[in-house]
Chains A and B, each alone.
Chain A
Amino acid sequence: MSKTLYWIQGGSCGGDTWSLMNADTPDPVELFDAFDIDVLWHHALSVTSLKDLTLLNQRILSGDQPLDILCVEGSVINGPDGTGRFDMLPEGPRKDFIYDLAQRAWVVLAVGTCASFGGIGADTEAMAGGLQFNKWEMGGLLGETFLSSGGYPVINLPGCPCHCDVVVGTLSALATDTVVNLRHHNTPSDWYGVMVHQGCTRNEYHEYRVEEKQFGERGCLFFHMGCHGPLVTGPCNKALWNRRSSKTRVGVPCFGCTRPDFPQQYPFFETRNIEGIPIELPDGVSRAHYMAYKGMAAAAAPKRLMERKTSI
Chain B
Amino acid sequence: MATIKKIIPLNRVEGDLEIHLELDRDHVVKAAKSVGTMYRGIENLMTGRGPLDSLVITPRICGICTTAHLNAAAKALDMAYQVSIPADAHRLRNVTLMVEQMQNDLRHLFLLSMPDVTRPRYADHPLYAEAMARYQPLKGPSTVQTLQETKKLIEIIAILGGQWPHSSFMVPGGVVSVPSGSDIAQCRHILSSFRKWYEKRVLGCTLDRWHAVGTCDQLQDWLAEAVAHRDSELGFFIRFCLSAGLDGLGRGHDRFISAGGPDLPKPGGDIIPLFPAGIFTPAGTAPLDLEKITEDVTCSFFKKTPGHPFDSRTIADPYTDDERKYSWAKAPRYDGQPAETGPLADMLMADKPLFVSWVRSNGASVFIRELARMVRPAMILPAVEQCVAGMAHVDAQFYTDTLKPLSARSYGVVTAPRGILGHWVVIKDGKIANYQVITPTAWNGSPRDRHGIRGPWEEAITGTAVRDPDDPVEVEQVVRSFDPCLVCTVHAIMLS
Contacts and interface: CB of A to CB of B under 8 A. Distances in A.
A50 to B, nearest CB: 6
Nearest to B402: A215
A244 B18 contact: no
Given A87-B37, A242-B157, A263-B45, A255 B56 contact: yes
Given A241-B158, A249-B162, A263-B56, A87 B16 contact: yes
Interface stretch (B174-182, B242-250, B283-291, B333-341): B174-182
A121 B39 CA distance: 10
Contact of A124 (B41, B169, B399): B41
B37 A46 contact: no
B318 A80 contact: yes
Contacts of B16: 9, 87
A11 B41 CA distance: 10
A14 B162 contact: no
A250 B177 contact: yes
A118 to B, nearest CB: 11
B85 to A, nearest CB: 12
A14 B40 contact: no
B471 A244 contact: no
A15 B164 CA distance: 9
Contacts of B176: 215-216, 250-252
Contact of A14 (B55, B64, B151): B64
A218 B398 CA distance: 13
Contact of B159 (A15, A53, A244): A244
B40 A247 contact: no
Interface string A230-250: 000000100011111111111
Interface residues of A, number: 74
A128 B151 contact: no
Given A17-B63, A18-B64, A242-B151, A251 B57 contact: no
Contacts of B316: 80, 86, 125
Given A11-B38, A88-B37, A215-B174, A268 B55 contact: yes
A247 B137 contact: no
A247 B162 contact: yes
Interface in B454-496: 470-471, 487
A13 B166 CA distance: 10
Contacts of A23: 151
Given A44-B111, A90-B7, A120-B45, A246 B163 contact: yes
Given A39-B138, A90-B9, A18 B50 contact: no
B41 A246 contact: no
B62 interface: yes
Nearest to B39: A86
Contacts of A120: 40, 42, 45, 57, 60
B384 interface: no
Interface string A48-84: 1111010000000000000000000000010110010
A126 interface: yes
Interface string A124-161: 11101000000000000000000000000000000011
Contact of B163 (A11, A49, A247): A247
A53 B471 CA distance: 11
B137 A245 contact: no
B436 interface: no
Contacts of B207: none
Contacts of A77: 38-40
A286 to B, nearest CB: 31
Interface string B143-164: 1100110110011011111111
B162 A241 contact: yes
B63 A16 contact: yes
A12 interface: yes
Interface of B: 7-9, 11-12, 14-16, 18, 37-45, 49-50, 52-53, 55-57, 60-64, 66, 107, 111-112, 115-116, 118-120, 137-139, 143-144, 147-148, 150-151, 154-155, 157-169, 171, 173-178, 180, 316, 318-319, 328, 398-399, 401, 470-471, 487
For the complex of A and B, 5 pairs with smallest distance between CB atoms: A15-B63, A241-B163, A242-B158, A126-B41, A247-B162
15 contacts: A13-B61, A15-B165, A21-B151, A44-B12, A45-B12, A80-B319, A87-B16, A123-B45, A124-B41, A124-B43, A214-B401, A218-B178, A247-B167, A268-B52, A268-B55
